[in-house]
Amino acid sequence: MTQNWRHLPAPARPIAAAALAGVAAARHRDSSALTEAAAGLAALDPAQVGLILGTAIRVVLEDTHPDGVDGDDVRTVLQRCARSAAVWHPEVDPHVLLVLLAGALGVWEDDGEPLPSPESQARHAALLLADLIGDVPGRVSGGVPGDLPGDLSGGDEVADKRVTAYLTAALAEIERAQLND
C-alpha cells in the first residue's frame, strides 16, 4: 500500500493510513495484521478516529442503499459481516458491529453502557468497511468518480483505490460539515 495522504490534514493522515491497512488486513483475512492496524488506530485520538471511520461507514451504507437504510438492511449487513469474519477472526463481536452501524447512522442511544474499547471499535470498523465495500456496485458518493469496479477480487490495487475513495469522500464530507457549522 503506497497511498500518499499528503493532501489530507495532518491529524487525518495516520488515521487514513491505518484504516486502509486494517481494511486490507480484513480483506486478506489476516488477524495479526488486523490487530496491528487496530492497535495503531486505537493509539490515535479516539474522537477523530470515530468520526472518520463512522462517516466512512455511513457514506458506504448510503452509497449501497440509495433508497435509504432500514432495519432489514442493517440486520443483513450485521449478519453477513459477523458470519464472514467469524470464519477467520473468532473474536468478532456482533454487538460491536451493531454499535458501529448504529453510531454511523446516528441512531445509537447512549444508555450509559460502556462502549467497546477503541481497539475493538477499530478492528470491527475495518471488518465492517471491508465487508461493505466488497458489495459496492461501482459507485462512490461524495463527489468521487464512480469508476471503480464493484468487485474487490480484482486485486489489492483496485481494493485500495475503492477504500481510499471512500475515506476521501468521508473526509470531504466532514470538512464540508465543519465549514458549514
Q: Does residue 149 lie in a domain region?
A: no
Q: Residue 154: what pLDDT?
A: 54
92 part of a folded domain:
yes
C-alpha cell at position 105: 447512522
Whether 59 is covered by a domain: the verdict is yes
Say whether pLDDT at 149 is over 60: no
Please tell me which residue, 3 or 115, carries the higher pLDDT value: 115
Above pLDDT 90, what percent of the chain? Answer: 64
Q: Which domain holds residue 80?
A: 12-107+117-137+156-180
C-alpha cell recorded at residue 168: 476521501
Distance CA 55, CA 30 (A): 24
Please report the DSSP string for 128-171 in residue order. HHHHHHTT--S---TT----S-S-GGG-HHHHHHHHHHHHHHHH
Beta carbons of 170 and 59 less than 8 angstroms apart: yes
The amino acid present at 58, given as its one-letter code, is R
E-state strands within 8-145 = none
Number of domain units in the chain = 1
Q: Is residue 148 part of a domain?
A: no
Question: Which residue shows C-alpha cell 477504500?
Answer: 163
